[in-house]
Chains A and B, each alone.
Chain A
Amino acid sequence: GQNIDQPTEMTATEGAIVQINCTYQTSGFNGLFWYQQHAGEAPTFLSYNVLDGLEEKGRFSSFLSRSKGYSYLLLKELQMKDSASYLCAVSRAGYALNFGKGTSLLVTP
């Protein structure tokens, strides 16, 4: 199946750390992607994982465990501009991305 589950909403404080989890069931797994989408805008690419482990890109890190069908996106030193929807997506080989419903993150002062 292609079920992708992530929390609907999260709230965190400016300067804090937040972890957004994503679980998936998929066959032909070729990678897991994270996108950020501000309200009314297009999704923008944040990171992807193909192998197990942690990928770090500045304030953003993404982790993957293929055996557990689990990933998380870690955002450090939160800023107000990080308030957005975060989309977890699974890639099947040579094909489309299957997106979750997204996690709406609100960063408060």
Chain B
Amino acid sequence: DAGVTQSPTHLIKTRGQHVTLRCSPISGHKSVSWYQQVLGQGPQFIFQYYEKEERGRGNFPDRFSARQFPNYSSELNVNALLLGDSALYLCASTLSPQGRAGANVLTFGAGSRLTVL
């Protein structure tokens, strides 16, 4: 079975531009989460989606948005890019956001490394 797949793997943008990152969860997983990881830091939660609905949002500005499609894949959009948005963007999937902690084990994709110049 394929794991969590993300695209693109690397991209370079300039300040003010817009970016769309894509994620396909593990087959059967209905929940997708997005995390931002700046170099030398732990991942920071951005969004969680389950059954196409937003279930949680981290402390990120409105320039960040996301959505989940009927096939459970997801997109993360970032508008008006800033230099500080340069980071590794990680997508993770899990069966469900509810239930015991064991059911919430996140499986991460390899990430999309965004560089903003």
Task: Take A41-B110, A42-B110 as given contacts and tell me if A97 and B45 are in contact as well, using a CB distance cutoff of 8 Å.
Answer: yes
| Contact indicator B41/A30 (Cβ below 8 Å) | no
Interface readout for B90-117 with A: 1 if CB under 8 Å, 0 if not? 1000000111111011111111000000
CB of B58 closer than 8 Å to a CB of A: yes
Query: Once the chains are docked, how many angstroms separate the CA of A48 from the CA of B32?
Result: 19
| Contact indicator B108/A42 (Cβ below 8 Å) | yes
Query: Once the chains are docked, how many angstroms separate the CA of A94 from the CA of B33?
Result: 12
**Consensus secondary structure, chain A interface:** strand
Give the total number of A-B pairs whose CB atoms are below 8 A apart. Answer: 65
Residue in A closest to B113 when the chains form the complex, CB atoms: A40
Task: Take A43-B90, A94-B98 as given contacts and tell me if A31 and B104 are in contact as well, using a CB distance cutoff of 8 Å.
Answer: yes
Binding site for B on A (CB under 8 A): 4, 30-31, 33, 41-45, 48, 50, 87, 89, 91, 94-102
Binding site for A on B (CB under 8 A): 33, 35, 40-45, 48, 55-56, 58, 90, 97-102, 104-111
